[in-house]
Amino acid sequence: MDYRRSIIITGGAGFIGSHVVRMFVNSYPDYRIINVDKLTYAGNLANLKDIEDCPNYIFIKADICDFEKMVEIFSQYEVDGVIHLAAETHVDRSIRDPFTFARTNVLGTLSLLQAARHTWELRPEKYEGKRFYHISTDEVYGALELDTPQGEPPYGTSFFTETTKYDPHSPYSASKAASDHFVRSFHDTYGMPTVVTNCSNNYGPYQFPEKLIPLFINNIRKGKPLPVYGRGENVRDWLYVEDHARAIDLIFHKGETAQTYNIGGFNEWKNIDLIKVIIATVDRILGNPEGHSLGLITFVADRAGHDLRYAIDSSKLKEELGWEPSLQFEEGIEKTVRWYLENQEWMDNVTSGEYQKYYEEMYK
Ligand code: NAD
Ligand code: TYD
């Protein structure tokens, strides 16, 4: 079949990537979707079982740092679009092993950019009809203050906008910031049609259970301690992953070249309040008495360099492209908790082996 477009999605076997791949494979049968993923501990093809046999879907196990391989894929499939999600993503891992983050997030992104440039500049139409879409995070902007009366959200008077100066604090956010700069430099220097988005914390099915929400759901189910960093006062802005995937679809097709768009949920939670909601939801679904698992909360040493508050102003995306989160948090968290409790086999598979060793080492 002659496909209308040929798009690489990197990191498609990970959490957000798998939702994006699924959405594109199902919504655009006339696009060829090429999932390029190294399958690190965070990548799992079980996340894509339902679409793996679709005729417009191809999986290629490859490292984005492998420049020759990237060029080969671009040429072989006449790629005209990239949605780049592959990355090392866990802040705690970045504190223990910053080098891996620089390699994948910075050099890997550069390798992909160079492969795109190498292939596209050889074509007669060059960059016409092409798009390199880089997915980034709100963490590059640094941390906001808690400077309102602390009853109800929002917990601060300032928000991250597209013009907020970069001020990353963790090796993870520093590596993402560096990669964002490289992407923008390829537009400014070579004229590559790039676009960058910075999104807040995502939650939903298929998130690797080293991140707060799936880790805590799993621990509550098993009656294991819930390690809350510091006093649990840090604030994050949570967005349901399918809403992020919808924004990515919209921006890939309609976003303006060389622009940045912030994506967020207008949904701030202090960690400790969010954790209590998760406990109440899991206990209710499992039929436990109210408050049954509250005793699992265990305050532990704070994360080094722990950013106090993230809060995104996504009004540009709303005004220019009409995107808004579709799901209320109560509905999203209910769906999410139910999914993890109903997909125990998935949880057990991804938490066996390497992850289990890391987790035991971390909290011994
Ligand atoms: P994830 O850790 O769940 O998945 C990352 C995927 O990338 C995995 O499938 C992994 O195998 C793959 N990968 C890692 N290194 C690779 C390499 N060298 N070559 C090829 N593939 C490789 O990540 P996620 O949470 O889905 O995040 C996806 C993207 O979205 C990242 O770029 C992240 O910075 C960004 N982001 C995430 C969030 C969030 O809350 N999760 C929020 C904003 C932005
Ligand atoms: P996380 O899911 O790691 O995302 P990020 O660090 O990218 O925001 O953490 C979300 C918040 O939860 C963050 O403030 C750190 C905190 N946290 C804990 O208190 N305990 C934990 O075990 C984890 C993983 C996170």
pLDDT digits (tens, 9 = 90+) for 280-326: 999 999 999 999 999 999 999 999 999 999 999 999 999 999 999 99
CA distance linking residue 84 with residue 16, whole number of Å: 11
- Quote the pLDDT of residue 108: 98
pLDDT digits (tens, 9 = 90+) for 166-221: 999 999 999 999 999 999 999 999 999 999 999 999 999 999 999 999 999 999 99
Distance CA 129, CA 126 (A): 9
Single out the residue of 12, 187, 178 nearest to residue 84, CA to CA: 12
8 Å CB contact between 18 and 91: no
Q: Is 270 close to ligand 2, i.e. is its CB under 6 Å away?
A: no
Q: Is 89 in the pocket of ligand 1 (CB under 6 A)?
A: yes
- Which residue, by CA, sits nearest to atom 20 of ligand 2? 228
Cα of 269 vs centre of ligand 2, distance in Å, is 12
pLDDT for position 231: 97
Nearest alpha-carbon partner for 317 in 255, 231, 241, 233: 255
- Is the CB of 140 inside a 6 Å radius of any atom of ligand 2? no
Sign of CA dihedral 117, 94, 361, 203: negative
pLDDT at residue 86, as a whole number: 99
What's the average model confidence in pLDDT over 327-344? 97
Average pLDDT over residues 55-62: 98
pLDDT at 1: 79
Percent of the chain with pLDDT over 90: 94
Q: What is the DSSP letter of 60?
A: E
201 CB near ligand 2 (under 6 Å): yes
Q: Which atom of ligand 2 is nearest to the CA of 307?
A: 14
Q: How far is the CA of 17 from the centre of ligand 2 (A)?
A: 20
CA of 18 to the centre of ligand 2 (A): 21
Contacts 24+ apart (CB under 8 A), 153-157: 153/235, 153/267, 153/268, 153/269, 154/268, 154/311, 155/235, 155/268, 155/270, 155/309, 155/311, 156/235, 156/309, 156/311
In this predicted structure, what is the pLDDT of residue 150? 73
**Are the C-beta atoms of residues 258 and 192 closer than 8 Å to each other?**
no
138, 180, 210, 237: the catalytic one is 138
Q: What is the phi-psi region of residue 165: left when phi exceeds 0, alpha when psi lies from -120 to 50, beta otherwise? A: beta
Pocket test for ligand 2, best of 198, 217, 229 (most atoms within 8 A of CB): 229
Task: Give me the pLDDT at residue 362, please.
Answer: 66
Q: Answer for the pair 339, 205: CB distance below 8 angstroms, yes or no.
A: yes
| Ligand 1 pocket check for 42: Cβ under 6 Å | yes
Residue partners of 92: CB distance under 8 A and separation at least 6: 210, 303, 362
Catalytic-residue membership of 342: no
Contacts of range 281-285, beta carbons closer than 8 Å, 24 or more positions apart = 281/333, 281/334, 281/337, 282/217, 282/220, 282/221, 282/337, 282/341, 283/220, 285/337, 285/338, 285/341
Residue 271 contacts residue 212 (beta carbons within 8 Å): yes
Per DSSP, 252 falls in state H
Which residue has its alpha carbon closest to ligand 2 atom 10?
A: 212
C-alpha 298/C-alpha 311 separation (Å) is 26
Cα end-to-end span (Å), the chain: 54
Query: Per-residue pLDDT for 353 more than 80?
Result: no
Average pLDDT across the chain, whole number: 96
> Around 198, how many Cα atoms within 13 Å sit in the side-chain half-sphere?
32
Q: Does residue 363 surpass a pLDDT of 70?
A: no
Active site residue 72: no
Identity at 289, one-letter amino acid code: P
Number of the ligand 1 atom closest to the C-alpha atom of 108: 18
Is residue 95 a contact partner of residue 170, using CB atoms and an 8 Å limit? yes
Residue from 198, 212, 272 whose mutation best tests the ligand 2 pocket (most atoms within 8 A of CB): 212
* Catalytic entry in 37, 139, 237, 242: 139
Q: Which of 172, 203, 261, 340 is catalytic?
A: 172
| Residue 151's pLDDT band (cuts 50, 70, 90) | confident
